[in-house]
Structure 1
Amino acid sequence: MSSTRVIKANGIDLFIREAGQGPLVVLCHGWPELSYSWRHQIPALADAGFHVVAPDMRGYGQSAAPADVTAYSIFDTVGDVVGLVQALGETKAMVVGHDWGAPVAWHAALFRPDIFTAVAGLSVPPPFRGRGKPLELLRQGGITNFYWQYFQTPGVAEAELEHDVARTMRIVLGGRGLADPSAAMFVQDGKGFLGHGHPEEPLPDWLSEAELANFIETFQKSGFRGGLNWYRNLDRNWELTAPWQDAQIHQPSLFIAGSKDAVITGLIGAKRVNELERVLPNLTRRLIIEGAGHWVQQERPDEVNAALLAFLRNVSSG
């Protein structure tokens, strides 16, 4: 059984779910998710002999949500994970991240190889620090309606997403009516981020009404501003990570994604998945789960758990 508590790390309160004893594994969720997103992984990893800790990340759920937009840089979010390891009384950990949690995991391994002995990323490939700021590159490419751009102005996306949180979470987590999932990443004029959604559709078989209700209840209390502030640091993160231009992550690594995940099926994502070894010279496996979408650890927990366990057992025994 997992337990929950609030722990102080990096100067803020982090709500965590934890279970098991043994080598420490930290699980970092993405947007718009929670530590609850790892509900299938926590018991499986704990039963296999690991101390598993999944925080509500900064800005989410029952964790602190600083008001300042600049408090959500990659240094702050990685700092939380470093602080969490220390607060748990450990000096080493293996780190796993999904969606926005994946850049946190990758950068944790990049910034602090002395702490993070192995890293797994789900859905989002490791950092290829490109030739310019992400939002500037979009504009230069003539793109003005990508969801990253829509999320920039404080208050706009919050108003839409918080208007009816139940509808929002049903569309974002449960929506499956798009022939081209990447279409959801572009915001049509006047339709907002949720304009593509069909909330009347039945939920996918991997998400029950009770599970969805957990997300709805939590986001009704917390709102969406904390999570959106991560996106408002995209260009700033590019500036801050200049010292790691072309740096590699040398720890053992694992990459997992669904074959129908729009993050990896687009032009840039597909190229990055094919070139993982440029950043991950010690990549142990590239697992693309056929038919799975973006919420891969919730959609296909058995396959994700098997891959994570094989990887974590191997690196912890080594």
Structure 2
Amino acid sequence: MTLLAAAHQASWLGQGVDVIVAWLLANAQGAFDVIKVSVLAVVSFIEILLDAVPAWLLAWAVAAVGLWRVSGGFALFVLLGLNLVLSLQLWNAMIATLALVITASLLALVIGLPLGILSARYSSVWRVVRPCLDLMQTMPAFVYLIPAVMLFSTGAVPSILATLIFSMPPVVRLTQLGLSQVPADLIEAGRSFGCSERQLLWKVQMPSALPTVMTGVNQTIMLALSMVVIASMIGGGGLGDVVLRGIQQLDVGLGFEGGIAVVILAVILDRLSQSFTAREGQPLRQRWRAWMSPWRSS
């Protein structure tokens, strides 16, 4: 057993990674400080913005969006679910988790969407990006926590950056897939009307690929939420801390409460983001009639 441990410690791959991390810590600390301050400013701004809205108003606003985009039943679920979170005194923890998810998802989209567009336009870029995405998706989630802590210490920033790496692949893959599947005759029609390459992208290809791209956005948000909970191990805060305390204290009730709050938040984010995968939202009047039809028939 000792020989195996020694052999593992002497591995050239592990030593190479250690050398790279040590070099980064010695020579790029200034850049890491800038990244840390910038990310912390964004997540703090989003959290302050969410905290400034009264809980009842935020619940009704989300329910109104749910009624518009999904259904009346979902709006009722939003109201009941968010009131349950509030009654469990987990509202502030949920807001902290939501701020982390929004920040990580926005950063993933800012990087992932242009990368997906470039991958669809240039096959050479896709040949380089694809194996990187394979690595990012198959690497165990806990592995991302180690370099994040080494480079950025503990707290919200390393949690967000680890979440960013973990959640970005779906939006890159599905953006590339959606743009690659745009019919050739549609592209030729756009060119025949004199569209430039930029106009062709934003007025022809992106509208056609939007359902697939929005599916990637939905998956990115869901992965960000799952990773934020894991990132509580490095001080991410929010609902992940509640679940982690339940595990550490063997408190089933506390862990269950934190888990229920995570489920409620996940369902709300999933249904709302998924509603934008359709080309056009269903009109509110049709949604109201569809929701009321079972009651009328009874």
Quickly name the TM-score band, shorter chain normalised: under 0.3
Larger radius of gyration: 2
Determine which structure has the larger strand proportion and give its number.
1
TM-score by length of 1: 0.24
Of structures 1 and 2, the one scoring higher in RCO (CA 8 A, sep 6+) is: 2
